[in-house]
Chain A
Amino acid sequence: MRASRAMWSMGGMHGAPAFTPPAAAEGVAITARGLAHGYGRGARAVPVLRGLDLDIRAGAHVALQGPSGAGKSTLLALLGGLERPRAGELNVGGVDLTSLRGSRLAAYRREVVGFVFQHFGLVDVLTARENVMLAMSLTGVTPGQRRRRADEVLAAVGLAHRAGHRPGQLSGGEQQRVAIARALSNRPRLLLADEPTGNLDDESTDRVLALLREVVVEHGCTLVVVTHNEHVASQAGMRLHLRDGLVRR
């Protein structure tokens, strides 16, 4: 994390407020107050989150549930730094995400967040190992270290023997495990998973769930999972139901 801290500190030299990374080497706590977000402007504005309040402790395993359009994906996008909230406060690990933009927001995604997508999001022309190394190439890890660490995380998700295969040669479950390995490669402190088992069969689902539980325990990161699956949600220590842009406990 030393390198990442140096990068965060450099962010303050370019005029924008300096950002101090979360101090603990573990998961991040999340707090939101009056968080509001939507799409479109003026008469076409579609509000999605309507003043949402949220408290998630560091290292928690949270399941986000709710009907389509409730704002789950939008909340995940805000937590992941893919967008900036239109109103309210969103604090991750003591950092106000509303104050970050541009390259500092990208650095936040790089250094703090790990994403796991329903569609896996693997680059199909790269092998499993190269997909994992791609994430590390963004953080300035040397090529030798990238390869070593990629092999380590692939071994950790049980895919050491598939490191040289491309996504098209892997099953859905294997692809999702590669995606998890990629998300873990930069040692994230907040792991965001969007329907991680949505495209998987039962056996693969169980395997991926076990892996995510292990991530929380071994890596100590905070895990937020968006899911419609009750079985997946039941694994979480905290379940949040979103409806009409607000949390209903």
Chain B
Amino acid sequence: MSWRDGFLLALRSVVRRPARTALTVLAVALGSGLLVALAAIAQVADTRVISELGKGGPATAIKVAAAAPDPAAADSDNPRPGPARNLDDAALRSIRRAPYVASAIPVTTQQVIAVPPPRGSAITGFAGDDPDRGQPRPFNAAIVGVDLSQVHDLPVTLLAGRLPAAGSLTEIAVGQDYLDRLRLDVKHPEVVLATEVELGTPQVQPAGAIRVRARWTRAVITGVVAQQVGDGTFLASQQLVAASRAWQLGGVDGSSLGLPLPSTQYAGLVVVADSLDDVHTVRAEITTLGYSTSAPEQLIASVQRYLHVVDIVLGSIGLIALTIAALGIANALLAAVRERRREIGVLKAIGARDRDVLRWFLAEALFSGVTGGVLGTAAGLGAVAVTGTVVNDYLVQQGLAGVDLGGVPLVTAAIGVGGSALLALLAAAWPALRAARLPAREAVGAL
């Protein structure tokens, strides 16, 4: 008897006891569904927690400061930087060439004077904070400039709206401190979207009556972000910051006025290691090159250990469910063997080998395993989607970035189905062997 014939016979056999078959399939579906759901949720939760530790960027991101390392604190996650040091293109190239470095993204900053609406445009709920003129007060701030096409590698979490277009000179994103400064509710960051803010870059003149001139840029706020790229209220494209910086460098040093010229080409770098395991090596290499680094390396390692424990607990719960399902399959097959002793005997009497009977029962178990696995995996992924939506809503309500549930890997689904099928075969092994080894005469009964 071929496997094909075995499957056809098994398919006919399972309909003989539809209620038993349905319950067995349901048990497998529950087991695999639970395992898939727990695995997927654990995976998303892990990603979320690690991502949170990376403040929205990859957990493998390392921040490099424009400062020499402090040898006494080189191994800590957040060492105190040593003396300032120019971080220039040469240093950037050296770091990019270092082993295990996936990417290195320069960060620039520029001091500006920011003038929020209504001078730019009106914000709902904001009446201005200048008691004399009913206008908002200008304030000193910094713009952080990065290559926005690489924002996925940066510790930036979008809370509302969208990021400025890469290379844009007129779009900008603001941090939550901008909302605080305007005394707006941080739970409703959307109110500042599409409003304008004016940004003035100072240029200190070498002489004359007017000591400081400003270059004004009017930018539209496209999004609200939480970012750990650099110290600054605004996040903009590298080009916008470069233009402002060029203007300031056109003047002279104004340290006496509190407007010094920038002492470093880049305010910092965000270096992404190939993997979490490589973070320490990359940090050590950058330290050797003479720059201070920080990364939540040890924190992530500790959290990963805890998450691993959570994974084990969740996995165990799923495995217990699958084991119960496996026992269900074994029990159902044992009952089937008992019921079909005569049928097995007849099959052997007409020439079936042990392996033919084995195939028949294994195929029957495989049917339950695969059907239950497919149903369970689908239900499990459905449960993940529902849970994710609920969690997403909660996170957004709390002013946090939502979780991406589109990334439940196909391999999880494949393991759900394949694992159920394998488990069914394992569970069926003993009953099927028992059926296969039934002596023909005993199985036929009294001749």
Contacts and interface: CB of A to CB of B under 8 A. Distances in A.
Whether chain B is bound by chain A comes out as yes
A117 B342 CA distance: 11
A118 B440 CA distance: 16
B12 A125 contact: yes
Contacts of A81: 440
Contact of B439 (A83, A109, A135): A83
Nearest to A135: B350
Nearest to B444: A82
Nearest to B343: A123
B36 to A, nearest CB: 32
Interface string A104-135: 00110111011101010101111000100011
B15 A125 contact: yes
B351 A80 contact: no
Contact of B1 (A114, A124, A137, A194): A137
B349 interface: yes
A139 interface: yes
A110 B356 CA distance: 12
A115 B15 contact: no
A107 B350 CA distance: 9
Given A73-B447, A137-B1, A137-B2, A80 B16 contact: no
B441 A82 contact: yes
Contacts, number: 87
Interface in B348-377: 348-354, 356
Interface string A156-198: 0000000000000000000000000011001000000010000
Nearest to B13: A125
A83 B438 CA distance: 12
A130 B343 CA distance: 15
A226 B347 CA distance: 20
Interface residues of B, number: 26
Contacts of A150: none
Given A77-B447, A82-B444, A126-B12, A117 B351 contact: no
B22 interface: no
A138 B1 contact: yes
A154 B224 CA distance: 80
B9 interface: yes
B5 interface: yes
List the 7 closest pairs (A to B, CB-CB), nearest first. Answer: A110-B351, A73-B447, A121-B346, A125-B12, A82-B440, A82-B441, A137-B5
Interface of A: 73-74, 76-77, 80-83, 102-103, 106-107, 109-111, 113-115, 117, 119, 121, 123-126, 130, 134-135, 137-139, 182-183, 186, 194, 226
30 contacts: A73-B447, A77-B441, A77-B444, A82-B444, A106-B348, A106-B353, A109-B349, A111-B351, A113-B349, A114-B350, A115-B349, A115-B350, A117-B346, A121-B342, A121-B346, A123-B12, A123-B343, A123-B346, A124-B16, A125-B12, A125-B13, A125-B16, A126-B9, A134-B347, A135-B350, A137-B2, A138-B353, A138-B356, A186-B351, A226-B447
